[in-house]
Amino acid sequence: MTMSNDLKQLVQEKYGQIADQTKTQNETSCCGIGCGCSVIDEALMAEDYAKLKGYVADADLGLGCGLPTEFAKIKQGDVVIDLGSGAGNDAFVARAITGESGKVIGVDFTERMIEKARINAEKLGLNNVEFRFGDIEKLPISASVADVVVSNCVMNLVPDKAKAFAETFRVLKPGGHFSISDIVLVGELPAGLKQSAEMYAGCISGAIQKEEYLHVIEAAGFVNVDVQKNKAINLPDEILQNYLNAKEMSAFKGGEVGIFSITVYGEKPVPQPKSEAAKAACCGEGSTCC
């Protein structure tokens, strides 16, 4: 089995267990891992959804690291895809915006999460929200379907982020866009600190450098890429002081080095029609090849 498959199996097993935990457990036990950390006293990553229209408490497992739907510019009637939809939290908030004339498709890699999301949708009586089992690196969705794609603290868990963003590009309509919240790194963390941070807040396990993350997005073909929100993840001094000297501690707390929750926006460009002159130069006068 490859390392990529090993990671995917680990994610499936982990989030299958998390599906049956409470929001409080997930917020306060290493991003849902339940690893028994000793210095947990507040949710590091999760944001408060309760104020948002469409919020469903049973669907909120406290696993996100942002509020992508707040930045996603969703309109009534839009088709929205939620990557890594979990129990349906972001999907239901998106449905409240897109309304009865729109559609929301959630995709998740964990069957227990899909089951839980479908139960929540049935309780709400929603007939234009569906949840599909699938891999973000190979989405079970046709090309050019979505007006908007959202995702919340999921891409960092995907082994091949280039494939994941290529798939995001494929399923978006020309002119469509995404808003994705995720975890990234800035600067090089000492190896020991990174390992401890992963134990403390498991969601950073697959995080990559912020510059690399944005490069992957642009390499997929997206334009007008913009960081809509940038929030430092503050680890307790009890962990930091074991690995950082005074200068390094100052750099970490000042944001020069660290772990960040970002929300990123990007658009799939609309192909521009070739001018008559360009067609003639490409194909020759009178040709029908263009």
pLDDT digits (tens, 9 = 90+) for 231-263: 988 877 887 888 888 888 888 888 888 889 999
Tell me if 58 sits within 8 A of 125, measured CB to CB: no
Strand partners, 267: 177, 223
Residue ranges of alpha helices (H) inside the chain are 3-18, 23-28, 68-71, 89-98, 111-124, 161-171, 191-200, 210-219, 237-240, 246-253, 276-283
Q: Is the pLDDT of residue 218 over 90?
A: yes
Query: What pLDDT score does 191 carry?
Result: 73
Query: What pLDDT score does 287 carry?
Result: 52
Query: What pLDDT score does 34 carry?
Result: 42
82 membership: H or E segment, kind and range: strand 79-83
pLDDT > 90 in the chain, percent: 52
| Least confidently predicted of 140-144, 194-198, 220-224, 274-278 | 274-278
- Number of C-alpha atoms within 13 angstroms, CB side, residue 26? 23
Domains and CATH numbers, the chain: 3-266 (3.40.50.150)
User: Which residue matches tokens 């002159």?
Assistant: 277
Query: What pLDDT score does 244 carry?
Result: 84
Tell me if 171 sits within 8 A of 103, measured CB to CB: no
Q: Is the pLDDT of residue 42 over 50?
A: no
Query: What pLDDT score does 52 carry?
Result: 87
Kind of pairing, strands 79-83 and 103-108? parallel
Tell me if 146 sits within 8 A of 172, measured CB to CB: yes
User: Which residue matches tokens 């790194």?
Assistant: 185
Task: Give pLDDT tens digits for 83-135.
Answer: 999 999 999 999 999 999 999 999 999 999 999 999 999 999 999 999 999 99
Q: Is the dihedral angle over the CA atoms 162, 74, 105, 90 positive or is it negative?
A: positive
**Which comes out higher in pLDDT, residue 47 or 149?**
149
pTM of the model: 0.82
Task: Give pLDDT tens digits for 136-153.
Answer: 999 999 999 999 999 998
Say how far apart CA 103 and CA 123 lie, in whole Å: 17
Task: Give pLDDT tens digits for 258-289.
Answer: 889 999 999 999 998 876 555 555 555 555 55
Token output for 263: 């929300």
